[in-house]
Amino acid sequence: MYSIGTDIIDIARIKKCAENVRFMSRVFSKKELDLFTKKKDPYPSMAGNWAAKEAFSKALGTGIKGFSLNEISVLRDDSGKPFFELSGNALKISRNLYFSVSISHTDTLANAVVIAYKTTT
């Protein structure tokens, strides 16, 4: 293991921020926005993705510096397990790492934990 990051956020805060189109495009990738449109209630997923991005930056140890949040796509596999798809500077900065992410939420809060591992090659 290289490092770990965690974050928690109030879902109502993300719901309010989602009213701002500029916020949405700065924070979420096109693939994430497509994922949210398929949800009856997208706000828990939005908040979970936000928390995962924050936890990612903490696991890197950089904070949100040197990359844009929308370069980190938090997607789901066929079984619903979240994973990162990185692009741009986020991919460059994390080139020698791979990540495990877990997201949970209640009715009011979403949290995420990210573990960064160094590659063996």
Helical axes 30-37 vs 43-60, angle rounded to 10°: 150
Q: Does 58 participate in catalysis according to the annotation?
A: yes
Pick the catalytic residue: 16, 38, 39, 58?
58
Spatial neighbors of 119 by CB under 8 A, at least 6 apart, are 96, 97, 98
39 is catalytic: no
* Catalytic-role residue among 16, 38, 105, 118: 105
Catalytic residues: 58, 105
